[in-house]
Amino acid sequence: MDFENVKAQMRKGVLEFCILSILSKGDAYATDLLNNLKESELIVVEGTLYPLLTRQKNAGLLSYRWEESTQGPPRKYYALTDKGREVLKESEASWRELIESVDSILKK
């Protein structure tokens, strides 16, 4: 098993959680999300974001609205739904649990 692959898998695992987390701080369109995720080095190529957003939207976690832009094409702004907020809360809890479990092993 090569290490790069492990890293990519880890990143993928938390990506959906991070998208929800970013959106909980305010509505955003894809490029805002991309800038955020790229800054934290969570995403390498942009294309991977779109299937995730579509799936989260279809699962009822996100809603969207169109807004005109002065510089380019109209933007699709995503917002968390109530269900999305709930899932985020649960994910956050399990994330903390996971960190604790891993830490407890690392510190042994």
Q: Which residues bind another protein (CB under 8 A)?
A: 12, 30-31, 44-48, 50-55, 57-58, 71-76
| Residue 53 or 93 with smaller CB distance to another protein | 53
Number of residues that make up the chain: 108
Which is closer to another protein, CB of 65 or CB of 96? Answer: 65
Query: CA angle, corner 67, sides to 61 and 69, nearest 5?
Result: 135
Q: Which is nearer to another protein, 33 or 80 (CB)?
A: 33
Taking the complex as a whole, the smallest distance from the CB of residue 37 to another protein amounts, in Å, to: 13
Burial class for 9, CB neighbours closer than 10 Å (0-12, 13-18, 19+):
exposed
Least distance CB 89 / another protein (angstroms): 23
SS3 content of the chain, % helix, strand, coil (to 5): 65, 15, 20
